[in-house]
Amino acid sequence: MERIICLIVGYACGLFQTGYLVGKLHHIDIRKQGSGNAGSTNALRVMGWKAGALTFIGDVLKCVLAVVAMRFVFRETEFAPLLGMYAGLGATLGHNFPFYLKFKGGKGIAVLAGLVVSTSVWMVPIPLAAFLVAVLLTRYVSLGSLLASTTFFLEMILFGELGGFEMVMKYRLELYGIAFILMLLAWIRHKDNIKRLLEGKENRFGSKKS
C-alpha cells in the first residue's frame, strides 16, 4: 500500500507541467514549438534562458517535494529510501505522461535531477559531471541526458552496496529495479534523439533547430 501511495503522490506532483505553464505565460503551447517537448531544453530553445531555467527549477522541485514528503511520512519504515524512489518514479511518470495533456509531457531528465538531489547530495557530482562533460565536448544535450541517467543507475547500485541506503538486500534489489526503469524510460523518451545521434543529425546546443 505504501508503494502505491508514493506512486500516486509522485504522479500528482509530476502533473505540474512547468514548461507548459511557462509557455502559456508566453502565449504559446510549448508542445507545438521547437522539438514539441514540454521540458526545459525546448523551453530554453523556444522562449529563452529565463524560461528554460524556470522550467528546469520547477521540474526539479516537484520531484524533490514528492520524494522528501514521502520519505518524511514513512520515515519510521525500514525501507523509506525505497518509498522515496517510488515517489520519484511517480513524478517521472506524471511529468512524462500527464493525462490532462493527452499524455504528452517531457522526457524526465530535470525530474531525474530532482530525484538525485533528494536521494543524496553525495550522488550529485557523478551524473552532473557526466552530463556537463558530454554537453561541453559535443554540445548534445540528449547525449548528456542519457549518460546522466545511466550513471545514476550505476551509482545507485554502488551507493547501495556500500551501505548508503541502510536497507536489507530485498529492498535494495527493488530499489535498483526502479532505478533501471527510470534509466530505461529516459532512453525510450530519447529514442528519436538517439536515432538522430546515430545519423549525425541531432541538434547541438546553441544551434537553431533544423
pLDDT tens readout for residues 173-205: 999 999 999 999 999 999 999 999 999 989 887
C-alpha cell at 89: 518514479
3-state secondary structure of 155: helix
Q: What pLDDT was estimated at residue 190?
A: 94
For residue 173, what are the contacts with CB-CB under 8 A and spacing of at least 6?
none
- The contacts found for 133-138 with CB under 8 angstroms, 24 or more apart, are 135/205, 138/204
Supply the pTM of this predicted model: 0.90
pLDDT tens readout for residues 144-168: 999 999 999 999 999 999 999 999 9
pLDDT of the chain, 210 residues: tens digit per residue: 999 999 999 999 999 989 889 988 888 888 888 777 888 888 888 888 898 899 999 999 999 999 999 999 999 999 999 999 999 999 999 999 999 988 988 899 999 999 999 998 889 999 999 999 999 999 999 999 999 999 999 999 999 999 999 999 999 999 999 999 999 999 999 999 999 999 998 988 766 554
Nearest Cα to Cα of residue 155 among 124, 186, 109, 110: 124
Amino acid identity, position 108:
G
Give the total residue count for the chain: 210
Torsion angle in degrees (nearest 10) through CA of 210, 27, 107, 17: 180
